[in-house]
Structure 1
Amino acid sequence: MNDNAIRLEIRGATLLAVPAVHFRLPFAEAVNAVCRDLSSRPDAIAVELGPAATAAARAWLQELGVGPEHRRRLPCMLGLHRDNQLLHPAMRERALTLQRETGRELHRLPPALLQEELSFTGLAVMQLSPTDSIVEALRCACELNVPVYGVDLEISARSNPSPVLMEDPWLARGAIRDYAERNGRRALSDTDPLIDGRRETVMAARLLAVLARHRRVLFTCGLGHWVRLAGLLQDPSLAPATVGLEADDAEVGTWRRTLVHPGIAVQSMEWPTITWLWERNRPHPLRGGPAKQDPPSCHEALLGKALEHVYTRTPGASQEQGGQDWRALGRFTHILSAEMQLTLRRFPNLGLVMRCAEAALPKPLSDALGRALTRFPWAKPAQFPDTEQLLDNREGKEGDVTLSGRGRPFRAGLVQGGGILVPNPGLVRIAESHWESHRGSDGSAWSSMLSWRPWERLATALSAQASGHVRKTQRVRVTESFTGQLLDGIDVRRTLREFARGQDRLMVRDSRLAPTRTPTSMTDAFPVVWIFDTGGPRHGEMTVLRTPLTWLLHAGRDRAALEERRDGAGENMADLVLFTDDRGTDLSGNAERSGIWTYLTRGWLLFRPQCPSLRQAADWILRTRSRLTPIYSDAFSNELPMELRHALARDGGPCLADLSWQDRLLRVGLAFGGRTLTLVAPIDFSPASAIRDHAARRGQTIVRVPITAFSKAHVARVRRIEMVPGRVQGEDCRIVYDGHPGDVLGEPEDAYRELIPTAWRHYLW
């Protein structure tokens, strides 16, 4: 367990406490480490929340798939909210005076006035931040399948907190006890004796009741409460309290689900990229996970990379402006360094970085820096259509928030820590671009990491050949003289032509089988599953490569027709699902600083041919009457998107967690494919019986092609995929790669063109 928790022996039971600074990753890591360690794994978990809030949060996490069987990411940012009608007792006289002075009831006064004069917030918001210790404890409770108790009062009046100067929370990493001893007394200055004293007594009494039920309990709360709680727990006169420990269903219903706008969410999490790294590498308490990276070392690198991106790609940021922008960069770094020293920070939070940027950098540069630092797969409204959205109130006073289902503004108080949720207008505006659009800042091109075109061309050509190997024949239309059977009907044009030539005969249509190496139509060729390995680990890293629908719809000649072919809500269309053990080789060390990553895959699923331009892709979809499927919003690189998982859960097939990675690919291909799924695999591989039975129930056929049907050189090449920096630009939205990747990779960009079937070259050349 190292020093990830404070251990107390209380009345024959063990309490493992993680006093935390809310929303900071080191404390969430500590909770996860305690739950992952067999020697400290708890029998129950308690958190600084009310019982109803705890039950509501756990229920939502379980609906999202968090549990013992799965390693699930948490969409960011979700939340729970409820109305607050509790006024601080010290404000009673002031409230009466305010009513007399204004001649209005309190609920009719502006929320900003109520907050400034009475410390009142009309909305209590609990943000399900992935880097918060309380949320991590709730996730671990779901994954360990152990009871979780909310031991705090359900809701209480709050006062305006004053800022507390404490050491950088990153110093608590692996040293929770030492950090709490050094900073616990400082945090006490932020507590309210009228409110927090009562809350802490209730928490201590309920904790004693939990300890009476379970041998080992993990508890996490705010650092400011821990000093007094530790003393109360050792008080022999304090009796356990079971009253109110179990959630009341009616109370649970008062907490309503909400989707938090990114501009508000960024204030209750680590840097978005660090949060993404944590989600990608977060170990499941029972199933483990990828090797942990070291987020603190990322701050400086992330900021440096973002600044380099800003100064090389933002129009106007050049030495031609007399060095003004470069001098502004120097001012920015000096101001940021000074602010970090004044606030005792080793690593700056995002709000501090943006405040310094707004003070020192020209607005275009500070905005570009904000966009670079807030890039993140945010949860979108389309993913949660029945959920209210917590938004910045742009038409009201700065600091107000609104709910999408209500017209009036609120001032919101955070459940974790009791602070006031005050949106930063700059961050709200900057993050908006990531919530609504993927378009580049110049308005004419999109930048991304794109798969290398020769690989796309070879993968498409070999997949077409694989489907041709399966079918062996295709139906060819012919016209012949009528001999007593109408067959497929009269060919009017040919009949008239024969009469014009003096031939008095009726011509009819027919279709016959003829040999082929490619399918009759492009739609017959997909999806195709390629499996290169049959052994190795049961599970691997899964990545979904996609086409943003914003790009595709912009490129199409008939946007309305494309919209009609959309299956589901979301911003992305999955093109490829691949599994790999390889974390990728970065070729950016090349002298040309290419930024290219190459991956050795174990297998992949290709949904459709990969076209050189989005205009060609849109034309192909309309020409073949294909569906825009599967559609999803966002996903991390080690799991299927939520929309795809939900679709799989509804079709009655086997659970993904029970399948090998090979059968997972087949499972996804069957869910989103047609009547036939082509499988290219080694001869010794056979799909699981559950997959075969599922295909039979759906009336689908898995047809196999041995991987030995293809040359070893082609198989070795198509197994390796490269991701190259590039842009989508022009009227036809053609893919243009940055730099000279062909020179770096030693492969011309037009490689494998000769393998594309002639009938398909209009779409693939």
Structure 2
Amino acid sequence: MPHRLHLEQFGPVHALPVLHYRLEFAHLVREAVRRVKPDCIAIELPSTIEAPFLRAVERLPEISVIHYEGRQRRDGAESVYLLVEPADPLVEGARLALERRIPLRLVDVDTDSYPRHVEALPDSYAIHRIGLTPYYEEYRRAAASVAPGREDRRRERGMAWRLQELAKEHGSILFVCGMYHLERIKDDFGRPQAAPLERVRRQGVRLFNLHPDSCREILDEFPFISAVHELRRGPLPPEPDDRGETLRKRFSAFELIVGGRKDLPAEELLRHAVERGARHAGRGEEFPDRQRIIFRLFQEAARHYRQETGDPVHLWQKRAFFRFARNYALASGALLPDLFQLLMAARGCVDDNFAYALWRLATFYHWQRAEADIPTISISPEEIWGGSRRIRFRPRERRRKGLSHLGFLKRKKEKRPGEWLEGFTDPSICSYPPEDVLIEEYGRFLKKKGAMQLSEELSRTEPFTSSLLDGIDLRETLRNVADGRVYVRESQRAKGGVGSVVVIFDEDRENGNYPYRTTWLGEHEQESDMAFYATPPEDNIVGPGICRCEYGGFLLSYPPRRMMDVWRDPDYVFARSKPEVLLLAALDYSPEKHVVHVAARPPRSIFRQIAARMGKKIVHIPLGSLSSVKLKSIRVLHILHGHDKRQVAKDYIW
């Protein structure tokens, strides 16, 4: 990134124009120090807060807040807050000065009556692509028509005078200054200036540690970006090894025997995710691309989301997420989305659970603690920024009135190691009835949807002549409004009903994630026969004789008690995968002409030929066209070892 650097030089002063609290400018400060090798660094802050500011810089990466009372108003004194966070270029300049033992000077003028500026600035990410020179030139041309205020001129003349004084002592000065002021400071430096009339001491300046909850809300660069910047300032941490740990608590049979797995704390797993993001957010010594940081944030959040819900973020959801976030950012005049826009995209394109996982990781800053060597303060966004944007998450959790909303914390546990394994003495297995009802209802819904799709395929539209047929087709009429003709629609009902239903969540091409295969027969006339493949039951034991699994795919066939074990049927040996076995069985056992096939992609063409020879037809429904929330609710099943477990299963299944 050195070629993106731009410095304005006047006398011994090398001035770097910056925007405050932006990641790209914090890195440009590092590049400027390498290039200039200054014997003094000056920053745009008043000397009246020098002592607490230097203390705050020494505390980094812990984030501090400098607070003092400003101008008086009718409702009392105005509270002034200054955040000292890693991604701010002024803080980075002071930090480098302390680390490299370079003299540091705070050259701004202390004022109580400085108005708040709201400027429509281009996205700072543009600097990563085009460099600072064209960015600053465009900004300077746009700002030339804006007349500075009285306090602006007072501050600028004061900083020019201090730089003149520093120029008498130092041969190379790096000056980190806001873009808004730099051009006028440069002009003032070339003319004699008088010492400013200003406050030389400020009473009541206090330094606070920022509370972790406030840290999630008020940082200008959200904590994940600040954490990545902090980690990449020094040697990168080694690749984290989670040893297969996840944020979801689950126990296998072996772990129950030895007394349960000792899970890593959730905070440590989140820290590992941040470290992975820091390692992969840039190449070598190159400064990380903000766009790449956001991509790594998405990847790690998707990883946690799959661990917790068992459902992956599909490619179409990923594509929709980034398209929506990009368009949202462009609509607000930015190149890349901010955290609020990312969360809105996550909630809209995936679901609330993913949005919560993204927020939890994006706002995680593991250095911040509630207890510190200085007092801790909580600050709301309204106090420091004057407003906020709010978003609500509604993760799907089971809640009970009068109990904690974290219901999983009240789940029953083993009283002694191996107690739950005693429930596996019954050799028979059965399902959990509430899940049976849910999946049968969804099977009927898919049959209706398949029948409607067939009807749509057989319907035809034609211009109105003598008959309205089944009614006016408004869509086609509006599409051809220039013709001045009315179009009517004729709907034809498909011959033959829908029999079997096949749903494929994961094709499991490597044959490793869903090795458990079985066939279940319906227990009564209202249940279908079922064949499925799923995760191993022994990998997640949730109660005595109760195992939790996740479907990779399943087949429903009605009427019940007709299906043999499809996984050992020699007629299906030529199938290449488990989904193909289920589809062949569906064609074989379907009493109706049509078979519904739900999957991410349609089956191979040979299966349509096989179906035609059997006098049947495959109706493919894309998995992405169905509700992801509903699919998650039916994807989980529990296997009970013995019918007696149905009486106690509700105490262990959530």
Q: TM-score w.r.t. structure 1 length?
A: 0.41
Name the TM-score, length of structure 2 as normaliser. Answer: 0.48
Larger radius of gyration: 2
